[in-house]
Amino acid sequence: MDDTLPADLPFHHTPVLLADVVELLRPREGARFLDCTLGGGGHAAALLAEGVELDAFDRDAYAIRAASRRLAPFLERGSLRVHHAPFADAARILTQSDATVRFDGILVDLGISSHHVDQAARGFSFQADGPVSMVMDERDAPLSERLLTTDEPELVRILREYGDEPNARRVAQTILFGRPWAGTRALAEAIAGVAAKTRGTHRATRSFQALRIWVNDELGQLETALLELPRLLAPGGRLAFISFHSLEDRRVKQAFAALAGVGAPTDLYGHPLTPPAFRLVDRRKGEDRDPNPRARSARLRVIERL
């Protein structure tokens, strides 16, 4: 972890769908859990309070430092182990030391923290000026560097695929023409001048989302996690994903359906020819379950190993 980071990191926020996560993952004394996205430590704190042993991952050194202070008693007792790495690497890292490791509950919260947007120095915000960074892991190349080696066709693809921006070509041309950008506010204002109109949000919102997803390889990380994390579940163990936009939720839904054998071949009586190893448990919407404004677009999906 980077020891040059400031000590007073404002990284606390109310975790979304907390009551539902605890209800559906069923933490209990002595169970072994994995929190793949530690963030501010809110979900981890609730799980640890139920007596679980928890491995937690995050690629954001800011988050790890803040959450480690918050969860210091559990670290001291040894019930919490924190790993500074992307959640896509969790299975590889954990099985290196124990090939048979299995978990009773696994949580992946795909949302970015309020800290990322609220702290201008992180470079995610278009409302407060900051460096053109957007990286969750300070060890990665910032957006400003990535843009220097990106061509127009690739940037158009990114804006269309990850941001659904109707004016992707004009936005891409504007971004590339203005390189290098002095800060996020200038970048956002330039994008807003050519992006399609939006209702109730800043015109740069779609493009900023697309650039953030790209520079952090968020969907690549998700695909890897969906492939590897189910293998870490113990019999009866449950895996939960919280997603915040359709690009994520669609991938989780499709992967869970495949694991549960939805649409798989059946015999004449409707029984699956190959019994599935997992079953779908529940799906919950933040807008129905959680008054927290950050939870409005949240979707929680849970699957269980049989």
| In the predicted structure, residue 193 carries a pLDDT above the cut 80 | yes
pLDDT at 56: 98
Burial (CB count within 10 angstroms: exposed 0-12, middle 13-18, buried 19+), residue 78: exposed
Residue ranges of the domains in the chain? 18-114+219-305, 141-215
Q: Does domain 141-215 have CATH number 1.10.150.170?
A: yes
CA dist 197 → 79, 188, 193, 208 (Å): 50, 14, 10, 15
For residue 52, give the DSSP letter.
-
**Sheet of 278-285, strands arranged across:** 80-84, 53-58, 32-35, 103-109, 233-243, 299-305, 278-285
- DSSP states of 176-187: HHTPSPS-HHHH
CATH code reported for the domain at 18-114+219-305: 3.40.50.150
| Dihedral of alpha carbons 170, 176, 177, 183, sign | positive
Distance CA(133)–CA(55), nearest Å, equals 28
What confidence tens digit (pLDDT) does each residue in 139-177 have? 999 999 999 999 999 999 999 999 999 999 999 999 999
Encoding tokens for residue 246? Answer: 């359709």
Distance CA(61)–CA(4), nearest Å, equals 10
Distance CA(175)–CA(238), nearest Å, equals 43
Mean pLDDT, range 56-84, rounded to an integer: 95
Mean pLDDT, range 122-151, rounded to an integer: 93
What confidence tens digit (pLDDT) does each residue in 270-293 have? 888 888 999 999 999 999 999 888
CA dist 283 → 17, 165, 194, 255 (Å): 11, 28, 38, 14
- The reply to whether 141-215 shares the fold of 18-114+219-305 is no
Residue 233: strand, helix, or coil: strand
Q: How far is CA 205 from the centre of its chain?
A: 18
Q: Which of 24-33, 44-53, 166-175, 191-200 has the lowest mean pLDDT?
A: 191-200
Scanning the structure block, which residue is given the tokens 């933490």?
A: 27
pLDDT at 5: 44
